[in-house]
Amino acid sequence: MTGVGAHGRLANNYDPLPVTVVTAEGAWVTGDDGHRYLDLLAGYSALNFGHRHPQLVAAAQDQLGRVTLTSRAFRHDLLDPFASALCALVGPSLRGEPMMLPMNTGAEAVETAIKAVRKWGHRRGITEPTVVVAQDNFHGRTTTLVSFSTDEEARAGYGPYTPGFRVVPFGDVEAVAAAIDETTVAVLMEPVQGEAGVVVPPPGFWPALRALCDDADVLLVADEIQSGLGRTGTTLACDLWGVQPDLVTLGKALGGGIVPVSAVVGRSDVLDVFTPGTHGSTFGGNPLACAVGLAVVELLADGSVVEEARRLGERMQTRLDDLVADELVVDVRGAGLWAGIDVDETRGSGRDVCLALLERGVLAKDTHGSTLRLAPPLTIAERDLDDGLEHLADVLSAL
Ligand SMILES: *Cc1c(COP(=O)(O)O)cnc(C)c1O
């Protein structure tokens, strides 16, 4: 057949729910059908402050009237303030004296972290550095990142694959210890696995991982692109356990739902491996991104958004625990305002639940077939959250 397929001019790499969003505000979006929908996905945590948060929109609009792009060939006046503010926000959660390197997407931030730890290893004479990663990880879609994905859908057909990664079960510190040898430069993991279905490791895992990395002189890298910036009711998810990683990747919410902004933040003696010409990005750290990123950091700085996420998160988990008790779902996992809900597959798929929720004006997204992920904006009104969860209970009862 010639010509275009059922998806027109758009490549078919997503299967969106049948809703076409035309406007949005806070936790609500409006479809081209004129209906309003409560957004309980919040762009996979890219919209932690809701749609079009007034302070973020104002910062972006203000910057649009000044300068939007210089490339890193020239200086601009917001890069240092953004770097200082971000390091001040997350520095206390990190090992050592922090510095940051701004990028755009999450995948680029993880790639940057991998390049940093590899080069750090090369400087120590490790010619073939390896990185230990977790099963069911999600770190992005580049060829290197899918090389160590264990999700066949994400990986198959994209070889040859980048070597240098060792995959171990998530949450198993013995397995990490067994995978570390003299070639190992880093352990790279999500504190809580997002795409895998909001999988929270045993409470002792991250503290044990920190101790192990210290003993083995290996860097601990936390991918907080989805878990960081308030989602778990703490500034970083690692704060849940008081663990300080050497490097952290941030993204998603850092762009305030307006522009892609990501960063690697962490030990200056590690990020110092980058010297002019050895790494970069045309758009990374551009003035518009810095203006929005700075406004995001300012929104988080006094801790009130994070505290509200913690409070609403407890409320949500209590409601979701009731669903398990009532045998409406198989299992619920969560941290802060973030939950993975395993639907009973004999009653329906995660997609079925999402479609029924859509009918009721609630947006959520399934992952891996039978798991539903909830990540409402941290700024959602308590009343809206309660209503959304009530719709979920009704949908599940009716399955
Ligand atoms: C979304 C995500 C990424 C990739 O971010 P992109 O901006 O889509 O490249 C990486 N790591 C984690 C943990 C994520 O959730």
Give the range among 1-10, 33-42, 286-295 with minimum mean pLDDT. Answer: 1-10
pLDDT of residue 326: 95
- Is 215 catalytic? The answer is no
Count Cα neighbours of 9 within 13 Å in the Cβ-side half-sphere: 0
pLDDT score of 266 more than 80:
yes
Tokens of residue 47, six digits = 């919209």
Q: Measured in angstroms, how far is the CA atom of residue 328 from the centroid of ligand 1?
A: 31
Q: What is the pLDDT of residues 144-162, one digit of tens each?
A: 999 999 999 999 999 999 9
Alpha helices, DSSP H only, in 217-303? Answer: 268-271, 287-301
What type of residue is 306? Answer: V
Least Cα distance to 42 among 230, 254, 257 occurs for 257
Least Cα distance to 56 among 26, 30, 16, 83 occurs for 26
Q: Measured in angstroms, how far is the CA atom of residue 252 from the centroid of ligand 1?
A: 7
pLDDT of residue 5: 65
Q: Is residue 125 exposed (0-12), middle (13-18) or buried (19+ Cβ within 10 Å)?
A: exposed
Q: What is the pLDDT of residues 221-253, one digit of tens each?
A: 999 999 999 999 999 999 999 999 999 999 999
Q: What is the pLDDT of residues 12-24, one digit of tens each?
A: 999 999 999 999 9
Tokens of residue 142, six digits = 């580049």
pLDDT of residue 369: 85
CA angle 339–193–333, rounded 5-degree value: 30
pLDDT of residue 197: 96
pLDDT score of 219 more than 50:
yes
pLDDT band at 361 (very low <50, low <70, confident <90, very high): very high
pLDDT score of 213 more than 90:
yes
pLDDT band at 368 (very low <50, low <70, confident <90, very high): confident
Strands (E), 135-242: 165-168, 184-189, 219-223
Whether the CB-CB separation of 20 and 32 falls below 8 Å is answered with yes
Number of helices and strands in the chain (H, E): 13, 15
Tell me which residues have their CB closer than 6 angstroms to ligand 1: 44, 105-107, 110, 138-140, 190, 194, 223, 225-226, 251-252
pTM of structure: 0.98
Computed over every residue of the chain, the mean pLDDT equals 97
Query: CA–CA separation, 59 vs 52, rounded Å?
Result: 11
Least Cα distance to 194 among 166, 217, 223, 174 occurs for 223
Looking at ligand 1, which atom is closest to the CA of residue 104? 7
pLDDT band at 3 (very low <50, low <70, confident <90, very high): low
Best mutation site among 142, 190, 252 for ligand 1 pocket (most ligand atoms within 8 Å of CB): 252
Q: How far apart are the first and last CA of the chain?
A: 40
Domains of the chain, earliest start first: 21-52+305-398 (3.90.1150.10), 56-301 (3.40.640.10)
What type of residue is 81? Answer: P
Catalytic residue among 39, 223, 366, 384: 223
Query: CA–CA separation, 88 vs 356, rounded Å?
Result: 43
Q: What is the pLDDT of residues 180-209, one digit of tens each?
A: 999 999 999 999 999 999 999 999 999 999
pLDDT score of 305 more than 70:
yes
Give the range among 1-10, 226-235, 291-300 with minimum mean pLDDT. Answer: 1-10
Alpha helices, DSSP H only, in the chain? Answer: 42-45, 54-64, 79-90, 106-123, 143-147, 152-155, 173-179, 205-216, 268-271, 287-301, 304-325, 350-359, 382-398
- Is 223 catalytic? The answer is yes
pLDDT of residue 1: 47
pLDDT band at 4 (very low <50, low <70, confident <90, very high): low
Least Cα distance to 112 among 285, 297, 293, 292 occurs for 285
